[in-house]
Structure 1
Amino acid sequence: MKVNLVQYSVRPDYVEQNKLNIEAVMRELRSIGHDGVEYAVYLRPDGRTFMHFVRQSTVEAEHYPTSLESFRVFQAQLRPNLKAAPTVEALTLVDLFAPGAERDAQARTP
C-alpha cells in the first residue's frame, strides 16, 4: 500500500480553476470506481495551498489518478500557476478508522 501527501500553493487568481480541475479528476475517478484508490484534497486556511492525500492499496491502483486524462490536464494547467513547488511525502499508515477499516487492518496484519 502507498500513501502520499502532495502539497503546493497556487497564485490567488488560479484557486477557483484549480478547484474545478480537481473536481474533474474526482469525477473521472468516481466513474472508474476503483476501490483500491482513496483520494482527498484539502485547502489550507491560507486559501491557496492545496494538500492531496492519495492512498493506493494495490499495484493496479498505483496508476490512479496519474494515468487519467483529467489528471494530465490538471497538471499541465497547474505548472504555470504555482507559487510554491509541490512537495511529495510518502506516509506510513499506522491505523485507520473508516468504513472498510477492518479490511485494511487485516491487510496490514502479517
Structure 2
Amino acid sequence: MINVIVSYTVKPEFVTENKTNIQKFLDDFKNLDQETFEYKVYIKEDDVTFLHYSNYINEEVQHEVLNVPSFKEFQKLRDESGLNGSHKIEILQSI
C-alpha cells in the first residue's frame, strides 16, 4: 500500500478556483475502481492550506489515478497560482 499526504497553501483569491478544480478531478476519480485507491482532500482552519490524503494498492494504480487529465490540469493551475514553496509531499509508512 502506498500512502501519501500532500499539503500546500494557496493565495486567498485562488481558494474558490482551487476547490472547483479539486471537485472536477474528484468527480472523474469516481469513474475509476474505488476498491484500489482512496483520495480525500481537506482544507485547514486557515482556509488557504489544503491537505490531500491518498492511498493506492500499488504503483500501477497510483500512476493511473495521478494521470487522469483533470488531475493533471488541477496540478498545473495550482502550481501556476504561486505556492511560494509551500508544496510538501510526504510518503507514509504503515505500522
TM-score, with length taken from structure 1: 0.78
Considering only CA atoms, is the larger Rg found in Structure 1 or Structure 2? 1
Q: 1:53 aligns to what?
A: 53
| Alignment partner of 1:89 is 2:90 | yes
The root-mean-square deviation of aligned C-alpha atoms, in Å, is: 1.4
Give 1:59-78 correspondences, 5 Å limit: 59-78=59-78
Q: 2:9 aligns to what?
A: 9
Q: Do 1:6 and 1:86's aligned partners in 2 also have CA atoms closer than 8 Å?
A: yes
Q: How many residues align?
A: 94
Bigger shift: residues 75-84 or 42-51: 75-84
Q: Which has the higher contact order (CA 8 A, sep 6+)?
A: 2
Structure 2: give runs of 5+ residues left out of the alignment.
none
How many percent identity over aligned positions? 29
TM-score, with length taken from structure 2: 0.90
Q: Which amino acid aligns with 2:65?
A: P
